[in-house]
Amino acid sequence: KQEVTQIPAALSVPEGENLVLNCSFTDSAIYNLQWFRQDPGKGLTSLLLIQSSQREQTSGRLNASLDKSSGRSTLYIAASQPGDSATYLCAVRASGTYKYIFGTGTRLKVLA
Amino acid sequence: DVKVTQSSRYLVKRTGEKVFLECVQDMDHENMFWYRQDPGLGLRLIYFSYDVKMKEKGDIPEGYSVSREKKERFSLILESASTNQTSMYLCASSPHDRPVYTFGSGTRLTVV
């Protein structure tokens, strides 16, 4: 059974720092992996999608990498800003299914 | 602007009541999903539907049922609400041919 783990559970950094959020999964037979952002009391917004054949995806200050063989993904945030404060979740989708398995998230606080 | 709309942001119901949570999407997506989100447990899939009148159990279907009579609407039903169903409920949709989820804003249900 696929399990997705995110470490750390919470992180506080000063504004301007570069930071890395980690996601690991137990079954490497994935179709793709997504990173989401969730603001307090709100739904999720998709940030980046990496297909199983890809190694990384970039959008603005965000870069997500995928190492399928080791069951790991990282989300790199450059030059963090207070507006980046949110919970970041990763989710993996197995081949042959429509559903995603989610991690429990990393709660990020960027201090001004 | 494409949307997934959940009918209520906050809901308070009594134990034993029948509860309906409604989700409507305007993107002509085939797939729709209901998740619940609890602290420390992350998002867990309750039910999903990949077509009208089709439904599949997720990881935690007990105590819930669903209805998909029209493509745009996916309803989650709590037959007899219990206090352990107090949670944030999130609806999502996606097309068959692209793996990107769009989430609603969530319904925070409290059962007293």
Residue B12 per-residue DSSP state: E
Q: How many CB pairs under 8 A join A and B?
A: 53
Residue B1 per-residue DSSP state: -
B47 touches chain A (CB under 8 A): no
B105 touches chain A (CB under 8 A): yes
B42 touches chain A (CB under 8 A): yes
Identify the burial level of A73 via C-beta atoms within 10 angstroms of its C-beta, where 0-12 means exposed, 13-18 middle and 19 or more buried: buried
Mean pLDDT of chain B: 93
In A, which residues are within 8 Å of B40 by CB distance?
104
B60 touches chain A (CB under 8 A): no
What's the average model confidence in pLDDT over B88-111?
Answer: 90
List, for residues B15-67, the tens digit of each pLDDT value.
999 999 999 999 999 999 999 999 888 899 999 999 998 999 999 999 999 99
Cα of B43 to nearest chain A Cα, Å: 6
**Which residues 6+ apart lie within 8 Å of B15 measured at CB?**
B81, B82, B83, B111, B112
Closest CB from A36, A99, A103 relative to B45: A99
Residue of B3, B8, B43, B90 to mutate for A, most A C-beta atoms under 10 A: B43
List, for residues B97-106, the tens digit of each pLDDT value.
777 789 999 9
In A, which residues are within 8 Å of B96 by CB distance?
98
Determine the Cα–Cα distance for residues A87 and A37; give it in Å rounded to an integer.
6
Determine the Cα–Cα distance for residues B29 and B97; give it in Å rounded to an integer.
10
Question: In this structure, are residues B34 and B23 in contact, taking their beta carbons and an 8 Å threshold?
Answer: yes
List, for residues A47-69, the tens digit of each pLDDT value.
999 999 999 999 999 999 999 99
A45/B42 Cβ within 8 A: no
Q: Is the pLDDT of residue A94 over 90?
A: no
Strand-pairing partners, residue B57, are B47
